[in-house]
């Protein structure tokens, strides 16, 4: 079966029809995410279909994963309609704004989504709104950096997760100036194009350095994939995050294999660390699954008794991001 954009849209529409028939509280639904981008959503032959369901009241669940095939699953978010009341405010929000701007409505009999999307799209691309979305993410990154500098005792997975969130927000602040937010599996590849668009190609090396990528070779990273797989399977079901649902394992694992075999094999570090750290947060410190993650982070120097050098490097990266934002020339595109 060839997974064309048209087929993926049919999957989305069929699922929404089924959900609408079963739940009268659904007022609207839309498709978003990588299946709507110009590039193929497939990585390692797998993809997910992101759907948002809007309800008239607070939904019973916030997110669910539904299997379609071994290579495709649905990632469904459930929102209260109150999140969409002020469309003009949403257009300057760094995540909701771009999502709604490019979303494809699937179900909207009352034109609720139509009205909201029109409000978001109105002047969405205006330079000051674009810069505001980017600046919001940069400010979050800088504020979180100060929090990391406070040196408050923090469990290792929480510390690494917070560190990576700073990096994510900083990188996406630049991405929002020239296109869509970066997707998790293609994070490093997307940032490479973003840095080129800003005329700062060496920032890719800086980002890779923040992940410890210069401290390990590809063979070492590849050897961690088995430990990641074991950790994924070992997550206690009562503590398993939705992002790490069993149906999503191949979605990540096959993407890792594809990235390792690509021209930029170390691009695998971002999704590998992101998901492995989340899994580690569910384990006790003494468990073998936790230790494998901990050993990898130590080798990458993301965990150490003295992180002053790493924090200084992150500080310098944030300064470069801030300078790049200040020099941004609208409509350079990428």
Residues 85 and 135 in one domain: no
Q: What pLDDT score was predicted for residue 331?
A: 59
Q: Within 10 Å of residue 262's Cβ, how many Cβ atoms?
A: 13
Residue span of the structural domain in which 274 resides: 127-325
Q: How far is CA 167 from CA 125, 191, 236, in A?
A: 25, 11, 28
Q: How confident is the model at residue 150 (pLDDT cuts 50, 70, 90)?
A: confident
- Mean pLDDT over residues 137-161, rounded? 90
Residues 55 and 75 in one domain: yes
Q: Per residue in 66-123, pLDDT tens?
A: 999 999 999 999 999 999 988 899 999 999 999 999 999 999 999 999 999 999 999 9
Please state, in angstroms and rounded to a whole number, the distance separating the CA atoms of residues 153 and 162: 13
Q: What pLDDT score was predicted for residue 256?
A: 98
**Residue 331 within any structural domain of the chain:** no
Residues 31 and 180 in one domain: no
Please state, in angstroms and rounded to a whole number, the distance separating the CA atoms of residues 7 and 116: 27
Residues 101 and 135 in one domain: no
Helices (H), 53-186: 87-90, 96-102, 112-121, 127-149, 156-178
Beta bridge partners of 46: 43
Whether pLDDT at 159 is above 70: yes
Q: What pLDDT score was predicted for residue 2?
A: 77
Residues 168 and 277 in one domain: yes
Per DSSP bridges, beta strands 104-107 and 63-67 are unpaired
Residues 149 and 291 in one domain: yes
Which segment of 111-120, 164-173, 300-309 scores lowest on mean pLDDT?
A: 300-309
**Residue 84 within any structural domain of the chain:** yes
Q: How confident is the model at residue 262 (pLDDT cuts 50, 70, 90)?
A: very high
Residues 20 and 165 in one domain: no
Mean predicted lDDT score pLDDT of the chain: 94
Which segment of 12-21, 147-156, 166-175, 226-235 scores lowest on mean pLDDT?
A: 147-156
Residues 316 and 179 in one domain: yes
Q: Per residue in 265-302, pLDDT tens?
A: 999 999 999 999 999 999 999 899 999 999 999 999 99
Question: Which CATH number characterizes residue 14's domain?
Answer: 3.30.460.10
- Mean pLDDT over residues 232-242, rounded? 97
Q: Per residue in 35-63, pLDDT tens?
A: 998 778 899 999 999 999 999 999 999 99
Residues 56 and 164 in one domain: no
Whether pLDDT at 333 is above 70: no
Residues 86 and 154 in one domain: no
**Residue 334 within any structural domain of the chain:** no
**Residue 208 within any structural domain of the chain:** yes
Total tally of structural domains belonging to the chain: 2
Q: At what angle do helices 156-178 and 203-210 cross, to 10 degrees?
A: 160
> Final residue of a domain: which of 84, 100, 121?
121
């Amino acid at each position: 079966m060839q997974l064309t954009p048209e087929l993926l849209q049919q999957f989305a529409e069929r699922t929404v029809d089924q959900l609408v028939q079963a739940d009268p509280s659904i007022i609207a639904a839309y498709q978003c995410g990588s299946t709507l981008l110009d590039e193929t959503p497939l990585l390692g032959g797998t993809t997910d279909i992101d759907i948002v369901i809007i309800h008239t009241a607070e939904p019973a669940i916030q997110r669910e994963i539904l299997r379609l095939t071994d290579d495709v699953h649905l990632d469904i978010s459930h929102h209260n309609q109150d999140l969409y009341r002020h469309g003009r405010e949403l257009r300057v929000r760094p995540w909701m704004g771009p999502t709604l701007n490019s979303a494809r409505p699937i179900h909207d009999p009352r034109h609720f989504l139509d009205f909201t999307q029109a409000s978001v799209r109105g002047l969405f691309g205006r330079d000051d709104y674009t810069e505001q979305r980017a600046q919001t993410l940069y400010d979050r990154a800088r504020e979180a950096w100060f929090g990391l500098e406070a040196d408050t005792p923090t469990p290792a997975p929480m510390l690494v997760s917070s560190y990576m969130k700073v990096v994510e927000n900083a990188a996406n602040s630049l991405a929002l100036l020239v296109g869509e937010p970066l997707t998790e599996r293609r994070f490093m590849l997307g940032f490479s194009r973003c840095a080129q668009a800003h005329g700062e190609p060496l920032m890719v090396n800086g980002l890779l350095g923040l992940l410890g990528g210069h401290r390990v070779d590809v063979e070492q990273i590849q050897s961690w994939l088995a430990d990641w797989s074991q950790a994924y399977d070992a997550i206690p079901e009562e503590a398993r995050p939705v992002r790490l649902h069993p149906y999503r394992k191949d979605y990540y694992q096959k993407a890792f294999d594809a990235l390792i075999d690509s021209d930029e094999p170390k691009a695998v570090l971002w999704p590998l660390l992101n998901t492995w750290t989340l899994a580690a947060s569910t384990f006790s410190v003494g468990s073998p699954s936790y230790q494998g993650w901990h050993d990898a982070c130590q080798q990458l120097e993301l965990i150490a008794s003295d992180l002053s050098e790493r924090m200084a490097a992150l500080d310098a990266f944030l300064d470069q991001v801030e300078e790049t934002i200040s020099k941004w020339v609208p409509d350079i595109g990428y």
